[in-house]
């Protein structure tokens, strides 16, 4: 079971872990989760030939019955040696609402719970200068960390040596009783170490449920707006993919210009031959490159998953502005195939033990 705040690197780690296991001829499966209905992560992970299932339009805990059904189905059909269940990044209280109910209902395999934390975001939160997220969202962030079996401090490769040393000392002070890993998920040795720890983790039969205030938890979730959109670019001069990539940067720049904190911005660029995932996160200030994509294409689709601390109306306005800017510089056509912009629902777990 994989948890952690939006943009903490969960999907990247799972994808790398699955490839690691596949190279060892192990069977793997992944269940993804989101408040929306169209997921970048599912499209990206399944593109690697990995068995996947989705729980959409609500979190695992609020859609427990559907989650349990998909869990049994993927186990029966795929017989995976290892199965990853990735919770939506605004979700907490998974021990009480998922792990314990599953065990109480006869689920036999060990349920090990790893929570991912972006190293730079953790530093800002603990030091008290994460002004880009409100107190209700910070409460949710802290509660996610509190219930972890294994705490994975991710994206350590993006920090300078002095920053890494500060965070390592900080984590040792703040979380002395946690099993903590410092990870670069693009480093196979780091992935191997993480998987070894999970495989050999001794799951306590006395695992504690969180003490959590659901009113604050709900306010944290309601601080965020969700936008899912599928956009088709067509051109006669081969610039469709270039335009799609340009839009990802325009959206990110418009969000920053408006001053809205980013949970995550994820994009899946699909030119019919290759799929590329592009991510911008809470404290990311680096624009990714398009090195894996062929920049000559007459038709390219772009899937947008935006999770922003703003109102749905304000988030939608940012996307429209970015599209208008692109439209003035793109000679082809842009068609919106699907769009939804909303706030997630208040968490109401089916079970809580």
- What percentage of the chain exceeds 70 in pLDDT? 93
Summarize the confidence of residues 85-106 as an average pLDDT.
96
Higher pLDDT, 128 or 258: 258
Domains along the sequence of the chain with CATH: 2-220 (3.40.50.300), 224-342 (3.30.70.360)
The predicted structure's pLDDT at residue 307: 93
Higher pLDDT, 279 or 215: 215
Cβ neighbours of residue 341 under 8 Å, at least 6 residues apart?
225, 226, 227, 228, 312, 313, 315, 316, 319
Instruction: Say yes or no to pLDDT of 336 above 80.
Output: yes
The predicted structure's pLDDT at residue 290: 52
Summarize the confidence of residues 146-151 as an average pLDDT.
95
What's 308's DSSP letter? Answer: E
The rounded distance, in Å, linking the Cα atoms of 300 and 274 is 10
The predicted structure's pLDDT at residue 292: 46
Higher pLDDT, 183 or 282: 183
281-319 pLDDT, tens per residue?
Answer: 766 555 555 554 556 889 999 999 999 999 999 999 999
């Amino acid at each position: 079971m994989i948890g952690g705040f939006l943009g903490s690197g969960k999907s990247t780690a799972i994808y790398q872990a699955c490839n690691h296991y596949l190279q060892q001829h192990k069977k793997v499966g992944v269940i993804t989760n989101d408040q929306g209905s169209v997921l970048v992560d599912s499209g990206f992970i399944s593109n690697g030939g990995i068995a996947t299932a989705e729980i959409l339009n609500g979190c695992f805990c609020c859609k427990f019955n559907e989650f349990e059904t998909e869990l049994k189905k993927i186990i029966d059909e795929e017989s995976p040696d290892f199965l990853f269940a990735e919770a939506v990044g605004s979700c907490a209280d998974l021990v009480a609402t998922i792990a314990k109910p599953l065990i109480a209902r006869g689920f036999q395999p060990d349920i090990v719970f790893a929570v991912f934390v972006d190293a730079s975001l953790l530093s800002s939160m603990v030091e008290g200068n994460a002004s880009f997220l409100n107190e209700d969202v910070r409460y949710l962030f802290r509660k996610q960390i509190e219930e972890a079996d294994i705490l994975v401090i991710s994206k350590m490769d993006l920090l300078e040596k002095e920053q890494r040393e500060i965070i390592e000392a900080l984590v040792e002070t703040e979380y002395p009783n946690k099993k903590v890993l410092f990870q670069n998920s693009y480093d196979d040795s780091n992935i191997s170490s993480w998987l070894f720890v999970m495989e050999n983790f001794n799951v306590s039969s006395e695992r504690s449920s969180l003490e959590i205030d659901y009113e604050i938890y709900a306010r944290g979730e309601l601080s965020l707006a969700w936008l899912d959109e599928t956009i088709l670019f067509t051109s006669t001069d081969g610039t469709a993919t270039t335009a799609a990539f340009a839009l990802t940067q325009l959206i990110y720049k418009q969000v920053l210009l408006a001053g809205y904190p980013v949970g995550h911005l994820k994009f899946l660029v699909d030119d019919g031959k290759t799929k590329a995932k592009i991510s911008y996160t809470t404290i990311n200030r680096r624009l990714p490159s398009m090195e894996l994509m062929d920049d000559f294409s007459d038709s390219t689709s772009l899937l947008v998953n935006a999770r922003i601390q703003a109102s749905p109306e304000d988030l939608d306005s940012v996307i429209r502005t970015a599209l208008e800017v692109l439209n003035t510089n793109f000679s082809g056509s842009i068609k919106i195939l699907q769009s939804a912009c909303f706030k997630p629902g208040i968490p109401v777990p089916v079970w809580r033990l």
